[in-house]
Structure 1
Amino acid sequence: MGYKLKRIDLDGRNRVYPNEEKDLEIVLEKEYRSAIHGVVLLPNGRPAEDALVKLFVKNRHNDCELIPVTFTFTDECGQFLFGVEPFKEYVLKVFFYRPERPVQKHDEEELDER
């Protein structure tokens, strides 16, 4: 079981003054959400920046039927993060493609005109 991070602003009556020590009692609330975090690596061990990571939930009655939930792209370190509901069975699919010829500025402008 996790607990929610709680923010305590040290201002107003909790303000800290010079040469003063504050004793605070912080009571955390239970956290029922979950997260899936991971790193996508290329075969050479380097992080896969901008890889597509798609999250699916499994259909209880048919393992081959996946219900799409959301997607994200990995950061420069190949990392991704999803907030998820607990007690569900999830499947991740990852796609990475580096084009042989990167999109040129004039190609982007042509797409914008369409």
Structure 2
Amino acid sequence: MLKFTEEHEWLQIDGDIATVGITTHAAEQLGDLVFVELPEVGGTHAKGGDAATVESVKAASDVFCPLDGEIVEINEAIVTDPSLVNSDPQGAGWFFKLKLANRSDADALLDEAAYKELVG
């Protein structure tokens, strides 16, 4: 199940694990990324809390935790090569995997059509 937030994160939810990244729209707005800082594996985050930081040639921005949960994996490849986020934001450029505290909370997030309307 693919969901989106109004803060331009996407979540690919499989069971109680959500793979999280920033949307193509967000990557285009930021421009070329030069630095990515990811959360620590094992850390718990509340919905809306800062989970990661990205810096581009234009600006620095926070990536928020879309739902309550625990970080179970991070994508080290984007730390080494931040351009992966620009080239494939909703694929190889994912940020972290989150074990959801309550999977049903995802029901309140945007579906693809609603997100496209938001940014359209």
TM over 0.5, yes or no? no
Query: What range describes the TM-score normalised by the shorter chain of this pair?
Result: under 0.3
Bigger relative contact order, structure 1 or 2 (CA pairs below 8 A, ≥6 apart)? 2
More helix by share: 2
* TM norm structure 1: 0.22
